[in-house]
Amino acid sequence: MQKHFVKRGVRSMKSMRRMISSTALLLGVLALLATALPAAAWSGNLRWTYNAGVSLSGSPLVVGNTVLIGDIDGRLHAVDKNTGQALWSFPTGTTINGAPAVLGDRVYIGGADGTLFAVNLKTGTQAWKYKDPKVYNTPQAIWSSPAAGDGRVYFNSASGTVYAVNAANGRQVWTFDTGFELRSAPTYDNGVVFVGTYRGRFHALNAKTGKRLWGGGSGGPIGAAAKVSDGVVYFGSWDGNMQAVRIRGVVPQWRHNAGESITTSMTVEGGRVYFGTINGKVVALNKSSGQVAWEFPVDGGVHSTPVVSGGMVVFGSDKGVVYALDGATGNKRWEFATGREILSDPAVSGGVVYVGSYDGNLYAFQ
C-alpha cells in the first residue's frame, strides 16, 4: 500500500417563501418518533423553511447568524439562521455548485463560468471578481467549493488547474496544473492544499507556493473533497476505495473498499468516518482501523456528505429524502421527504441542521 504515495520529485498521479401545508401534521409525527430517543438526542423538528424560487444546487454554509447557499440560476442567498428570513442575495449569473468559503468579512463563491466572486458578508455587495485572463472564451467551470486560509482563496477549475488568489484583492498568487479534470473541492489544512483529480491522482501542495509536496494514486476518479483530522487525510474515489494517510511522513494507515463508488466527502467525528456511495449506502468506519462499524442502505444514491449533530448522522438522498440515523448503531430515527433530489451537503450549527433541496427549499431541522 505504501508504494502508492511518493515524495516530491517523483511523477504521480471534486424568492417567494414556501411553507409546507402539512407542517403541523409532520411535526406531530416527528415528535412521536423523537419520544423513543434519549433526552439528549436531536429531535429533528422542522424549525423553518426558506424558498429560493429555484433549485438549490449549492451546499449551505453557516457563518455567525447567517446561512449562505447558492442556487442553479447563480444567486447566492443569505438567510437569517434563526428565522429563515432573507437578508440579501447576490447574482453571479452562473450556476453555483458547492458551498462558499468565508475569510473575515468576505464570502467567496465560484460558478460554472469559471469566475470566483468575493462578496461582503454583511451587505451582499461585490468586492471583486477573478477569472483567469489567459482563458478567453472557453469556460473553465468551477464545480466545487473554494477553500480559504493564510490570506488566500484556493479553487479548482474543471480544466485541471488549481488556483490560489489573494483574498483581499483577487490577484493571482499561483496556479498548479494537475493535467486532469477537477470535479472535487480543494481542502486547506495547516499550510497544505489537498486536491484529487478525476483521473485518480491525489496531490498535496504547499499553500504559499503551489509546489507539489507529495502525491499518489487512488485507483479511481476522485469526485469529492478530502478531509483532514488529527494529522490524517481521508479521501475516497469512484473505485470504492477509502484511504487514510498520515500526513507527516506520508504513511498510509488503512484502505477500505466500499464495493461501489464513493460519491461524497467524509465527516470524521467521535472516532468514526462517515461517507455515502452512489447506489445508496451510508457507511461508518472505525477511524483508527478502517473497519466497518455499520452500513445503512438508502433508496437512491447518496451525493450528500453526512453530518453529525446530537448523536445523529444526517444526510440527503437523490430521491429527495433527509435521513437521520443513530450515530452509534446506524439505526434510522426518522426521515423527511422534500419535493426534489438532494445533491448537496448539509451544514450543522448550534444543534440545527440545514439542508438544501432541488425543490428550492432550504430546511432547518432541530
Q: Which pLDDT value is given to residue 19?
A: 34
Question: What is d(CA 73, CA 216) in angstroms, rounded to the nearest whole number?
Answer: 37
Please tell me the predicted confidence (pLDDT) of residue 15: 35
Give DSSP secondary structure letters for 165-184: EETTT--EEEEEE-SS---S
Angle among Cα 306, 292, 269 to the nearest 5 degrees reads 40
Q: Which domains does the chain have, with CATH numbers?
A: 2-14+18-365 (2.130.10.10)
Give residue 138's pLDDT. Answer: 52
Instruction: State the pLDDT at residue 22.
Output: 37
Dihedral of alpha carbons 310, 228, 202, 60, sign: positive
> Which residue type is seen at 98?
G
Task: Let me know: does 119 contact 111? Beta carbons within 8 Å.
Answer: no
Mean pLDDT of successive 10-residue stretches along the chain, which has 366 residues: 39 34 36 34 82 98 99 99 99 96 98 96 98 67 96 96 98 96 96 96 98 91 97 97 95 97 97 97 98 97 96 97 97 96 97 97 96
Q: What angle do CA 262, 351, 326 make, to 5 degrees?
A: 50
CA distance 284 to 306: 10
At residue 261, the pLDDT reads 97
Q: What type of residue is 187?
A: T
Please give the Cα distance from 249 to 257 (Å, whole number): 24
- The whole-model pTM stands at 0.87
